[in-house]
Structure 1
Amino acid sequence: MLELVAFDIETTGFDVGDEVTVIGFAVPMGVRVFAQTGGRDVGDVAGEVGAATDTAVQVSTHRCEREVLTAVAGFAADRFRDEDVLLAAYNGERFRGGFDLPFLRTRYATHDVAWPFTDVAYADVLPLVANRFNTTVDGDESSDLEAAYDLLCDGAHGALDPFADSAEAVAAFTEARLTDLVLHNVADVLRTRALARVAQRYCSKSDFGVKSLTPVVSD
């Protein structure tokens, strides 16, 4: 079976010129997070995050987006290359939609940094939840990440999240509240992994729609 690794990104917004602020990966032994500081003094983020959760979280801070993207490329080369990994995201990239992977492609291309996810399989968890589970509450479908996690899992990871709404991630970076931003990212990658594991238990392999993220031409 492929080793499940969930990931999620935080950004300064949704436009083509916006930047990645945090990239997190839920790996079997914990969570690995890469965060940019915007060149500011943000204090002991790793220590503050470690004190706020029992989950093993390794945080590295980087002065700018390019340094984050380069660090993630190095992590992926060491951690994913030659390994049987299934990378999973929630609305990361799906048929005619998705956010995380298209955003990352633009930012990697902007900085002319090699694409990190070579020889990596990918599946999106959102279509699995929306199409293979009933998440309707009071007549309304609740398939966003937080609601789906609370409905189909135990809801425990929600206690890590300092934000009432994901939109707060933009303000947190602007205000240099990097610890809160990282904790939000950790909560989201753990939620994504939990939902993916539920799908593994109750859905067929064909439901996952696994695709390769390897580009046509690799650097």
Structure 2
Amino acid sequence: MVLEQVAFDIETTGFDADDELTVAGFALPLGVRVFLRTDGRTVDGVEAAVQEQVECHVRLSTHASERALLEAVGEFSRDRLADDDVLLVAFNGETWRSGFDLPFLRTRLTHYDVTWPFGDVPYADLLPVISKRFNTTVGEEECRDLVGVYDMLCGGADGALDPFEESSEAVAAFEAGEFTPLVLHNVADVLRTRALGGLAEQYCSKSEFNVKSLTATTQEYG
């Protein structure tokens, strides 16, 4: 049985332990689900503006605080991902000795004592699969970032959606309340991740995906 891939990516205010989550996005087979933190600011027309530029369906929900966003992600995961034959994938979301998205998420969840959202959800990181089974070397350097690897192996419209050249622009956009480009950036990233997941699925064996359970110990035995 082939599990249905769901690509995951987050946006944050930075990389430190006291930085915060601003956006979480999931690319599902029928569209993209985005959770946007607004801190009470106006977001009228953002979903429509994003949808005008994206071919697949985009559903956007807004949340007044980081805690509310985290709780909404948990509810979505329990309703849509758990026990539904899906495989959560990310690009450098969490590998053996590194990764960003899941470690960052854990730290922010502990800040509010919010339950881990990915019980009964298997996970595979795409970075090891891509780096080991595709040639991504340019000159003497191996390309290991999402945008670079996507442009090298896939190219196409998903990358063209992204209004930002650097990830720091997503931080500035959130601070300025420029939510449309921020959401577009996240949508572009989850679609890039989904495209790379599909590529790996097409050209690599199932054994190349180091699938692990994300169920927390207390969820598993509690």
| TM-score, structure 2 as length reference | 0.95
Please give the residue correspondences for 1:158-173 in structure 2 after superposition, counting only pairs within 5 Å: 158-173=159-174
Superposed CA RMSD in Å reads: 1.2
Name the SS for the 1:126 alignment partner.
Answer: helix
Q: Deviations over 1:162-198 (max 9, x none)?
A: 0011221111101111111110000000000100111
Given that 1:33 and 1:58 are in contact with CA atoms closer than 8 Å, whether structure 2 keeps it comes out as yes
Alpha-carbon deviation of 1:38? 1.8
Number of the residue aligned with 2:188: 187
Q: Are 1:27 and 2:12 an aligned pair?
A: no
Gaps of 5+ in 2: none
Q: Distance in 1 between matches of 2:55 and 2:206?
A: 32
Q: Distance in 2 between matches of 1:131 and 1:175?
A: 40
Q: Distance in 2 between matches of 1:186 and 1:197?
A: 16
Give, as a single letter, the amino acid of the residue that structure 2 aligns with 1:86: L
The number of equivalent residue pairs is: 219
Q: Distance in 2 between matches of 1:60 and 1:68?
A: 9
Alpha-carbon deviation of 1:18? 1.0
Number of the residue aligned with 2:72: 71
Number of the residue aligned with 1:62: 63
Q: Deviations over 1:66-92 (max 9, x none)?
A: 111111111111101221110000110
Number of the residue aligned with 1:150: 151
Identity of aligned residues (%): 60
Number of the residue aligned with 2:206: 205
Number of the residue aligned with 1:94: 95
Gaps of 5+ in 1: none
Given that 2:122 and 2:214 are in contact with CA atoms closer than 8 Å, whether structure 1 keeps it comes out as yes
Name the SS for the 1:164 alignment partner.
Answer: coil
Runs of at least 4 residues off by over 3 Å: none
